[in-house]
Amino acid sequence: MSRRAPVAPPPQPLPGQVFDSHTHLDMLSEPPLEVLRSARAAGISQVVTVGCDLESSRWSAACAAEHRDVYAAVAIHPNETAGLNSRKEEVLAEIAGLAALPQVRAVGETGLDYYRDSSPPKVQQEWFIAHIEIARAAGKALMIHDRDAHDDVLELLRTCDLQESIIFHCFSGGAELAKKCAEAGYLMSFAGNVTFPSAGSLREAAAIAPAELILVETDAPFLTPAPNRGKENAPAQVAHTLRAIAEVKKMDVAELAAIVMATGERVFGPWR
Ligand SMILES: [Zn+2]
Ligand SMILES: [Zn+2]
């Protein structure tokens, strides 16, 4: 989407509090303080800001150190792996160092992207495995970017047998993947696309997913939920996504929000 798109208008405040499990504060046109203030006004009490390369991972860790309501995730995005492959050891050592910081609560976004295919699958898999080991060593959650790669992601997770929490960010499967994730205890983080008219299979997945395994995210500035498609996304907009999921699950919005908050503490550690 265009960076010059107008920022989406604030949603109706939630009847409770929830957090945005995956956002990119460094890519938004408004500064973090402004973004966090709008988020709080809508009932979004915390955000997890996510790195995709070294620079954004460093930025995320620094941002979380500065703001009490921000937590960081650090990693090299699968699409960035080929370009860094010649410096792999040094880059991963820095990610491991950042992952050990107290305000960094997850290793991500890492995983496999066979849709954009800007890195060969084998290279992506090697980096994904390395990130799984970083999450294990740091005792932090693993935040997965899975695009058109469900089977390989599940297979690598099975072989690596990570005991830490595993989150499918921007969950992109249907009922079948939701069932597999539920059986394995993997978290499913739904983004704004669950509100799109064409996203029937995502809504089926949300209906099937146990409430205790559901997270909500914006992936801002991308994937702005209805009714604000075409405008720039921001953490406040996760209110629309939570309401859409509550409707699909025939649950009270405040009740679902409370469950998501409790899940957040279980997955990312106690809020500050
Ligand atoms: Zn992603
Ligand atoms: Zn993202």
Ligand with the closest atom to the CA of 222:
2
How many Å lie between the centroid of ligand 1 and the Cα of residue 260? 20
For the chain, list the domains and their CATH numbers: 18-268 (3.20.20.140)
| Average pLDDT of every residue of the chain | 97
Answer whether 0.95 is exceeded by the pTM.
yes
Question: Could you give the percent of the chain with pLDDT greater than 90?
Answer: 97
How many Å lie between the centroid of ligand 1 and the Cα of residue 119? 15
How many Å lie between the centroid of ligand 1 and the Cα of residue 144? 7
How many Å lie between the centroid of ligand 1 and the Cα of residue 170? 7
pLDDT above 80 (res 170): yes
Ligand with the closest atom to the CA of 111:
1
pLDDT score at 166? 98
Task: Tell me the longest C-alpha to C-alpha distance in the chain.
Answer: 51
Average pLDDT over residues 190-213: 98
pLDDT above 80 (res 1): no
Q: Which residues pair with 142 in a beta bridge?
A: 107, 166
On whether the CB atoms of residues 75 and 109 are closer than 8 A, the answer is yes
Q: The tokens of 94 are what?
A: 């820095």
How many Å lie between the centroid of ligand 2 and the Cα of residue 147? 12
Segments in the chain forming alpha helices (H): 32-42, 54-66, 81-84, 88-99, 121-138, 150-160, 175-184, 200-208, 238-248, 253-268
pLDDT, one tens digit per residue, over 233-248 is 999 999 999 999 999 9
Ligand with the closest atom to the CA of 220:
2
How many Å lie between the centroid of ligand 1 and the Cα of residue 109? 6
How many Å lie between the centroid of ligand 1 and the Cα of residue 66? 24
How many Å lie between the centroid of ligand 2 and the Cα of residue 219? 5
Ligand with the closest atom to the CA of 219:
2
pLDDT score at 3? 53
Ligand with the closest atom to the CA of 170:
1
Ligand with the closest atom to the CA of 20:
2
How many Å lie between the centroid of ligand 1 and the Cα of residue 128? 13
Ligand with the closest atom to the CA of 115:
1
pLDDT score at 272? 83
How many Å lie between the centroid of ligand 1 and the Cα of residue 25? 14
How many Å lie between the centroid of ligand 2 and the Cα of residue 112? 13
Ligand with the closest atom to the CA of 144:
1
pLDDT score at 256? 98
pLDDT above 80 (res 270): yes
pLDDT score at 117? 79
On whether the CB atoms of residues 135 and 156 are closer than 8 A, the answer is no
Residue 237 contacts by C-beta under 8 Å, 6 or more apart in sequence? 8, 11, 192, 218, 220, 224, 225, 228
pLDDT above 80 (res 208): yes
pLDDT above 60 (res 135): yes
How many Å lie between the centroid of ligand 1 and the Cα of residue 253? 26
- Single out the residue of 75, 190, 77 nearest to residue 134, CA to CA: 75
How many Å lie between the centroid of ligand 2 and the Cα of residue 111? 11
**How far is residue 37's CA from residue 45's CA, in Å, rounded to a whole number?**
9
